[in-house]
Amino acid sequence: EVQLVESGGGLVQPGRSLKLSCAASGFTFSNYYMAWVRQAPKKGLEWVATISTSGSRTYYPDSVKGRFTISRDNAKSSLYLQMNSLKSEDTATYYCARRHGGYRTFDYWGQGVMVTVSS
Amino acid sequence: DIRMTQSPASLSASLGETVNIECLASEDIYSDLAWYQQKPGKSPQLLIYNANSLQNGVPSRFSGSGSGTQYSLKINSLQSEDVATYFCQQYNNYPFTFGSGTKLEIK
């Protein structure tokens, strides 16, 4: 059974940093692109980052480019999101998601982890 | 960025009814369109990809259609467990973008 379990969320002050982790199991992690998607409270979904199987290619929207870094450790079946220079608008539930094979959709999602940016 | 305009924002229907949710892309996305269901307090689940391909394990009462810039999700024989918010997503171009969601309730 595919499982994605996020951790590392919490309350952080504006301008500070936070690192999220996602532990994957139930599939061959190194064979799949992975991603982070977030959802602000009572809002819609926003794609945050995608990383290739080897980690050599990463993709971000302008809203987080230069502040967030996605990475992975295939030996540990783990995905990470380093978030720097956090802003109040980064407050959201962050989901780890697996890319759906050859399609750039997301077929499995974690339960999500809450990040609150506030002074 | 490709803008995804989803309608309606909310929908109330009776059990057994058929409902349709629409998604309009700001440019041609060549069927690179997915639909997700998000039940209250839960993570999104993939329903449809490639505009009309049913994800494994999803009931056949869900179907997708469309091409170019216009896409739709149809739910036949509405069940109580279909109460959720539904989102479309384009993955033709980075940045991937989502529709604003349709909240479906039972009348």
Q: Count the neighbouring beta carbons within 10 Å of the beta carbon of residue A51.
A: 24
Cis peptide before B95 (omega within 30 of 0): yes
Average pLDDT over residues A77-101: 97
Residue A102 has pLDDT above 90, yes or no: no
CA–CA distances in Å: residue A30 to residues A6, A53, A55, A77? 18, 6, 9, 7
What local confidence, expressed as pLDDT, does residue B45 receive? 98
What pLDDT sits at residue A92?
Answer: 98
Contact B7, B86 (CB under 8 A): no
pLDDT at A89 over 90: yes
B75: Cβ–Cβ under 8 A, 6 or more apart, which residues? Answer: B18, B19, B20, B21, B61, B62, B82, B104
Whether B49 contacts chain A with CB within 8 A: yes
CA nearest B1 in A: which residue? A61
Which of the four pLDDT bands, split at 50, 70 and 90, describes residue A111? very high
CA–CA distance, B69 with B25 (Å, rounded to integer)? 5
Q: What are the pLDDT digits (tens) for B33-88? A: 999 999 999 999 999 999 999 999 999 999 999 999 999 999 999 999 999 999 99
Collapsing DSSP states into helix, strand and coil, what is residue A115? Answer: strand
What's chain A's average pLDDT? Answer: 97
Q: How high is the pLDDT of residue B12?
A: 97
Q: How far is A60 from chain B (nearest CA, A)?
A: 7
Residue B44: what pLDDT? Answer: 97
Q: Residue A50 carries which side chain, given as an amino acid letter?
A: T
Mean pLDDT value of segment A37-50: 96
Residue A24 binned pLDDT confidence (cut-offs 50, 70, 90): very high
Contact B97 A47 (CB under 8 A): yes
Share of chain A above pLDDT 70, in %: 100
Predicted confidence band of residue B20 (pLDDT cuts 50, 70, 90): very high
* Residue A89 DSSP label: G
Q: Tell me which chain B residue has its CA closest to the CA of residue A47.
A: B96
Cα-flanking dihedrals φ and ψ of residue A11, to 5°?
-95, 130
Amino acid, res. A48: V
The number of angstroms, rounded, from the C-alpha of A111 to the middle of its chain's C-alpha atoms is: 12
Q: Is B5 on the interface with A (CB under 8 A)?
A: no
A85: left (phi over 0), alpha (psi -120 to 50) or beta: left
Any CB–CB contact under 8 A between B31 and chain A?
no
The answer to whether residue B1 scores a pLDDT higher than 90 is: yes
* Arithmetic mean of pLDDT, A37-65: 96
Chain centre to alpha carbon of residue A88:
17
Q: Does residue A101 register a pLDDT over 90? A: no
Mutation site for B-interface testing, chosen from A104, A107, A111, A114 by largest number of B Cβ within 10 Å: A104
Distance (Å) from the alpha carbon of A40 to chain B's nearest alpha carbon: 12
Average pLDDT, integer, range B79-107: 97
What mean pLDDT do residues A39-52 have? 95
